[in-house]
Each structure stands twice: as C-alpha cells, then as structure tokens.
Amino acid sequence: MKTIAFFNNKGGVGKTTLAYHVAWMLGELGLTVLAADLDPQANLTSMFLDEEAIEALWWPRVHTDKANTIYASVDKLKRGLGDISEVEQCGIANSDRLFLVPGDLGLSDFESDLAAQWPNCLDRDERAFRVTTSFFRIIRHAAEEGGADVVLIDVGPNLGAINRTALLAADYVVIPLGPDIFSLQGLRNMGPRLRAWRKDWDERKKKNPSADLALPPGTMQPIGYVTMRHAVRRDRPAAWFGKWIARMPEAYLRDVLDDKTTEAPSAQSDPNCLGQMKDYKSLMPMAQEANKPMFLLKPADGAIGGHQSAVRNCYEDFERLSQEIARRCDLPLRSDIAKSSRAKPIDLSDLGI
C-alpha cells in the first residue's frame, strides 16, 4: 500500500479537486482507493458525499468504539481516555473501488495537542508518540480493512501541526500549483518545511518507547507538481499564465528538491512536471450537482453538445496524469492500461517566453 498526499502551502489552487479526480481515475484504472480527508475544512468529504450523508456523520456526535470521521477516531486520544478508535470508512456511490475516511470540522481542535506532543517525542513519551502517529495508524488500519492499493490524503493549505502529522503518513507528495506568483512563493515556504519535518521525525522515531507501536517512515517524497487551472488559447496557456509556468521548473528544483547546482529545464521538458490541467469551467458545476467527477458526466447530467467533447478531453487529461502518478509511485495498474504517459507538454514558443 502506498500513500500520496496532495499538498501546497498556497490555498485555492485546486488541490482538493485534483485529489478527488485522481482518486476516481485510479479507481477507473483498476485500483482500490482510500481517500483520507485530513483537512479541517472537510472539502474532500463535501465532494464525495451529499449534505444528507454528511449530516448523518456529524450530528449527533456519538462516542462509540467505531468512529465515523477522522475527528471521532482521535476523540478518546484527545481526551486522554485511550488510544485511537478504528474508523469506519464510507463507501462511495457508483463505485466499488473508492472509500473515504470522512473529514470533520472538529479536527481543528486537535491541532494544539499535536503541537504540544511533538517535542515530547524527544523525551520518549509514549502518549506523544501515539498522538503524533495517530493519523498514520488510523489510515493504515482503514486501508487494510478496505483492501486499498493506495491512499490519497488531502490536507489544508498551511504548515501547522495537523499537516505535519498528516504528511508523516505520506510516502509521496504531489504539489498542485496555480500559475501565479503566490504558488511559487508557497514552494519557498513548503520545500524547506518538508525537509525539516522529515529530518525532525528521523530524530524522533529512534526514541520510540513502545516496540509494538507502528511508526510511519515519514518519507514524504515529492514526486512532482501539477499546474492547475490555466486558461487555454489554441490548446496553449495564455501568455500571462505562461510567464509563471515558465518559472516553475527552477522554483521546484531549488525550493522543493533543494538542488542549487542542476540547471533548471524548460517548462516543456521538465521531468518534475506531472501534468498541466485545464480549467474545465462549466463542467465543474455540473459535476458538483451530479456528485461525480467531471470526466464521468453523462448527457443526463447536462453534459450535452460541446460538453461531451470537453468530458472526453477531461477524461484523457486525468487518465494521463493518474498513470504518471501511478508510475512514479510504483502502483499496480491493470496491465492492459498501465502504459506510462506524460501529460502533453506546454509549448511556450508562441507566447514569446
């Protein structure tokens, strides 16, 4: 089982939308996928479930041995009454390959405990280790119970204790980027922080006081970035967006990979670019209404006329992207469709860049 986090210090770049659609597409490609919503805003949960289902999860909040959200699963640990509770993952309508560990706005209440217990790990404090590894252990058990091949983790756009704990559970990290200065600045913040978290956890996990307590490796290896929501003219990004796309290879190389010696490649040939996703505009509102991904919209959902062509293009884009993510994470796609396929590169020559 592999775990992949979708993370960017900058909000509003389409991170949750990306995680949601990649989860569906990996299911289309034959994998059993567990999506874990570790963002206290619970946006991924709101994409997978309708309001009635979410209301049934959140109200009334009942304390049981089997938790139904990520927050309920840490409730006893947070209150000092025990360890984590097993979480009952939700099945997703119209899919037998997708499952969800639902998010919960209450998760923000766990932030201070996570922050307080982080330094206590250095003192071999067992509760500190149980708190710090809580997300990893919850996700691992849910994945094993559901027979998941891969776990996709959605986190919020910040560098706080919740995200540190969530990223410890991740083998790999995919970084969505908007084509703007704010996303590039976000790389400057998150790259050094990921390296610091990895180093600090390596120091702490040597001090585990309990041999039977499973610890995450904490590798959180960045495997590449995805450019989100760029406007298109003749199948090319508009010049304004192209300006920032052209700067992404160097920013990713320097800030995320901490490589200051290699010459940055062009945007057209950057091996760290997993793909460039379009802004599918009118498809997204239809998808939200139909409670399904954009690339599975049907005429009955309102995708008629020119929308059907957009749906097909959307499917192909996410198929290429998901295959590339699977290849880099060594995920076992079905043999008949597991061909490595990079997303179509950007040609910036027409943009004067």
Amino acid identity for residue 330 in this structure: D
Give the pLDDT of residue 236. 56
Extract the tokens encoding 319. Answer: 């198929």
Instruction: State yes or no: cis peptide before 40, omega within 30 of 0.
Output: no
The residues with which 172 forms a beta bridge, in sequence order, are 4, 221
pLDDT tens for 253-305 read 999 999 999 999 998 899 999 999 988 878 888 998 888 999 999 999 888 88
Structural domain spans, the chain: 2-348
> Nearest-CA neighbor of 30 among 343, 336, 342, 341?
336
Asked if 153 and 3 touch (Cβ cutoff 8 Å), the reply is: yes
CA distances from 224 to 173, 243, 352 (A): 8, 19, 26
Give the pLDDT of residue 200. 97
Give the pLDDT of residue 127. 96
> Nearest-CA neighbor of 295 among 313, 281, 279?
313
pLDDT tens for 212-265 read 999 999 999 999 999 987 655 555 566 767 888 999 999 999 999 999 999 999
pLDDT tens for 177-191 read 988 888 889 899 999
Locus of tokens 């139904």:
68
Give the pLDDT of residue 161. 97
pLDDT tens for 113-150 read 999 999 999 999 999 999 999 999 999 999 999 899 99
Mean pLDDT of 197-203: 97
Angle at 67 between CA 143 and CA 331, to 5 degrees: 10
pLDDT tens for 34-65 read 999 999 999 999 999 988 889 888 876 665 66
Extract the tokens encoding 4. Answer: 């992949």
Please report, for the chain, how many H helices and E strands are present, in that order: 14, 12
CATH superfamily membership of 2-348: P-loop containing nucleotide triphosphate hydrolases (3.40.50.300)
Locus of tokens 């041995």:
65
Query: At residue 24, does pLDDT exceed 90?
Result: yes
Backbone angles phi, psi at 233, to 5 degrees: -130, 120
- Please state, in angstroms and rounded to a whole number, the distance separating the CA atoms of residues 116 and 342: 43
Alpha helices in the chain (DSSP H): 15-28, 43-48, 51-58, 70-73, 75-78, 111-120, 126-132, 134-146, 161-168, 181-205, 239-245, 248-251, 283-290, 306-328
- Long-range pairs for 244-253: beta carbons < 8 A, 24 or more residues apart: 244/179, 244/180, 244/181, 244/183, 244/184, 245/179, 245/276, 245/346, 245/348, 246/348, 246/353, 247/184, 248/177, 248/179, 248/184, 248/273, 249/273, 251/184, 251/187, 251/188, 252/175, 252/187, 252/225
State the average pLDDT for the chain. 88
Query: At residue 342, does pLDDT exceed 50?
Result: no
pLDDT band for position 338 (50/70/90)? very low
3-state SS, residue 59: coil
- Please state, in angstroms and rounded to a whole number, the distance separating the CA atoms of residues 291 and 94: 10
pLDDT tens for 78-90 read 999 899 998 888 8
Tell me the residue length of the chain.
353
Task: State the distance between the two ends of the chain, measured CA to CA, in whole angstroms.
Answer: 42
Give the pLDDT of residue 262. 92
Give the pLDDT of residue 61. 64
The residues with which 174 forms a beta bridge, in sequence order, are 6, 224
Query: At residue 340, does pLDDT exceed 80?
Result: no
